[in-house]
């Protein structure tokens, strides 16, 4: 079996100098780029407590789908919460039109937006604590009581973020009888379920019969995703450069 040749003294000196330059100069240059990019990303999240004066502005998103007109509506996003909803649902069985909205005292919190903002803030904090003087030395989901009027017992609604889109999904359900011959297979904690998915709600066993999904793009969230992608690419490039020296670490760790 071939074994790696240990670097010569000259090679080790050259590698050490290159690695020292990488840690002391290029790393800080990349971190400055990351700071600028992440600050731009943070400005897209106008959440309470994020340094913005007054409450977050309200944004209305019209929900639609090119594949169905069963569900139509408008959701109002304010920061990281849905403050208002106005949804119409056409029942496929009898074309009955149902209308429902959020109760005035209720909001639907979108934890995904809050989590993303928190991660950006944490990354900026860490970068601020690694200024030019720092010397790097090593390479090492909501209840039916939410709505008014209350949803029919055979409907469930979920609202969530998927990439840069605000999504609303309506599930039509039917109860499985205790003497049902169907093998009950509870669905996992997926955000989106398909027809035939089964789960328990209280003491009832239910099966999804129809799924209606509508969505709307959130422009500022799309911007934030672009900044996240660029930041990750910069980090990966820096990691790849440091990894070049991995064989050298086995001889002399920094």
pLDDT, one tens digit per residue, over 161-175 is: 888 888 888 888 878
Pair (68, 181) in one structural domain: no
In a domain, 2, yes or no: no
User: What is the band of 1 on the pLDDT scale with cuts at 50, 70, 90?
Assistant: very low
For residue 77, give the nearest of 63, 64, 62, 60 by alpha carbon. 60
Q: Select the more confidently predicted residue: 126 or 248.
A: 126
User: Quick check: bond before 149 cis, omega within 30?
Assistant: yes
Helix, strand, coil percentages in the chain from 3-state DSSP, rounded to 5: 35, 30, 40
> Lowest mean pLDDT: which of 22-36, 73-87, 174-188, 211-225?
174-188
* Number of domains comprising the chain: 3
In a domain, 144, yes or no: no
| 185 pLDDT above the threshold of 50 | yes
Pair (123, 230) in one structural domain: yes
pLDDT score of 14: 64
Pair (198, 158) in one structural domain: yes
In a domain, 42, yes or no: yes
| 125 pLDDT above the threshold of 60 | yes
Q: Give the percent of the chain with pLDDT over 90.
A: 2
> Lowest mean pLDDT: which of 24-38, 67-81, 178-192, 233-247?
178-192
Query: Cβ–Cβ contacts within 10 Å for residue 208, how many?
Result: 18
pLDDT tens digits for range 132-163? 666 655 544 333 465 667 777 778 788 888 88
> Lowest mean pLDDT: which of 38-52, 91-105, 117-131?
38-52
Pair (156, 247) in one structural domain: no
Pair (67, 187) in one structural domain: no
C-alpha–C-alpha distance, residues 84 and 75, integer Å: 6
Range of the domain at 233: 8-46+111-137+218-253
Averaged pLDDT, 189-205: 70
Q: Select the more confidently predicted residue: 192 or 123.
A: 123
Pair (80, 191) in one structural domain: no
Question: Which residues, in sequence order, are CB contacts of 147 under 8 Å at separation 6+?
Answer: 85, 100, 101, 102, 103, 157
Pair (165, 201) in one structural domain: yes
For residues 168 and 63, is the Cβ–Cβ distance under 8 A?
yes
pTM: 0.63
Task: Look at residue 209 and give its three-state secondary structure.
Answer: strand
Pair (230, 130) in one structural domain: yes
In a domain, 1, yes or no: no
Compute CA 67 distance to the chain's CA centroid, rounded to the nearest angstrom.
25
């Amino acid at each position: 079996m071939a074994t790696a040749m240990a670097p010569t003294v000259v090679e080790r000196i050259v590698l050490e100098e290159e690695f020292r330059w990488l840690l002391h100069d290029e790393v800080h240059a990349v971190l400055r780029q990351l700071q600028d990019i992440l600050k731009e990303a943070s400005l897209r999240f106008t959440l309470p407590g994020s340094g913005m004066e007054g409450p977050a502005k309200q944004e209305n998103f019209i929900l639609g789908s090119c594949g169905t007109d069963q569900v139509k509506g408008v959701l109002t996003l304010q920061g990281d919460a849905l403050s208002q909803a106005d949804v119409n649902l056409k029942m496929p069985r009898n074309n009955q039109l149902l209308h429902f909205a959020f109760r005035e005292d209720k909001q639907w919190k979108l934890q995904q937006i809050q989590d993303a903002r928190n991660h950006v803030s944490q990354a900026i904090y860490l970068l601020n604590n690694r200024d030019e003087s720092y010397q790097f030395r090593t390479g090492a989901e909501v209840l039916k009581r939410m709505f008014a009027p209350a949803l029919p017992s055979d409907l469930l609604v979920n609202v969530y973020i998927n990439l840069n889109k605000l999504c609303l999904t309506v599930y039509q359900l039917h109860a499985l009888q205790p003497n049902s011959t169907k093998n009950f297979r509870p669905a996992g904690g997926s955000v989106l379920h398909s027809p035939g998915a089964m789960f328990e709600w209280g003491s009832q066993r239910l099966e999804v019969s129809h799924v209606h999904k509508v969505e709307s793009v959130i422009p500022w969230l799309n911007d934030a995703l672009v900044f996240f992608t660029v930041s990750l690419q910069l980090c990966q490039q820096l990691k790849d450069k440091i990894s070049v020296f991995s064989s050298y670490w086995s001889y002399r760790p920094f």
